[in-house]
């Protein structure tokens, strides 16, 4: 578990979330969610980091609504429900009180020389069709990974090990994080080492 002191540095450098953009011959044209349009030349790229975030959460289970159950008598000992709540019929009271849900997405931080904030590409929030054009696939996850492959020839000297492993061995080698904060902290730390 990460403590509060570990978050102080990365939180000062909140990523600029990328909404969409396009690949140019000389670099990238990036549109952020704050409606900024920024052109980044290939030679200005400083470092980039790739990871998968798998978040789990619990939410309360709602109790089933009570319904009247209509029964049909088929014989001396056979009764079947026609509608309503089977749990009431069976007198089942040990329903789970919590439901566990999980979500995952791929994140990609791109740092520019002299910049303090990374550009954050998110498989669930960035429109990669604008970057990839005809090469765009049917899901954000596939499009983010295709985007990384597309720009990687321009970034060979600045790739983190996470990117190198992905390019050489596939997406099963991308590091997994349990929250976006944990990913941000790892991205910030790795960039400081470079």
- How far, in Å, CA of 127 to CA of 2, rounded? 31
pLDDT attached to residue 93: 52
- Tell which of 70, 95, 120 closes a domain: 95
Q: What is the pLDDT of residues 25-48, one digit of tens each?
A: 999 999 999 999 999 999 998 888
Residue-range definition of the domain harbouring residue 67: 62-95
- Tell which of 48, 78, 95 closes a domain: 95
Percent of the chain that is helix, strand, coil (3-state, to 5):
35, 30, 35
Is there a single domain that holds both residue 167 and residue 122?
yes
Is there a single domain that holds both residue 189 and residue 123?
yes
Predicted TM-score of the model (pTM) = 0.70
Is there a single domain that holds both residue 68 and residue 43?
no
Q: What is the pLDDT of residues 141-194, one digit of tens each?
A: 888 888 888 888 887 777 778 888 888 888 888 899 999 999 999 988 887 765
Number of domains in the chain: 2
Tokens of 110: 């791109």
Is there a single domain that holds both residue 8 and residue 48?
yes
Residue 11 has pLDDT above 80, yes or no: no
Tokens of 55: 């978040």
Looking at residue 73, the DSSP 8-state letter turns out to be E
- How far, in Å, CA of 122 to CA of 18, rounded? 8
């Amino acid at each position: 578990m990460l403590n509060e002191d570990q978050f102080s540095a990365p939180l000062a450098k909140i990523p600029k979330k990328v909404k969409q953009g396009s690949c140019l011959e000389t670099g990238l044209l990036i549109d952020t969610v704050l409606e900024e349009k920024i052109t980044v030349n290939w030679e200005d790229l400083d470092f980039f980091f790739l990871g998968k975030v798998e978040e789990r959460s619990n939410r309360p289970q709602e109790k089933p609504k009570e319904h009247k159950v209509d029964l049909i008598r088929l014989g001396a000992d056979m009764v079947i429900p026609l509608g309503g709540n089977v749990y009431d019929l069976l007198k089942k009271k040990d329903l789970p009180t919590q439901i566990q849900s999980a979500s995952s997405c791929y994140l990609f931080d791109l740092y520019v020389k002299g910049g303090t904030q990374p550009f954050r590409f998110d498989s669930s929030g960035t429109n990669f069709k604008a970057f990839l054009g005809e090469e765009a696939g049917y899901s954000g996850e596939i499009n983010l990974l295709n985007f990384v492959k597309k720009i990687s020839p321009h970034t060979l000297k600045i790739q983190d090990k996470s990117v190198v492993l992905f390019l050489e061995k596939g997406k099963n080698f991308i590091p997994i994080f349990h929250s976006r904060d944990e990913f941000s902290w790892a991205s910030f730390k790795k960039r400081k080492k470079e």
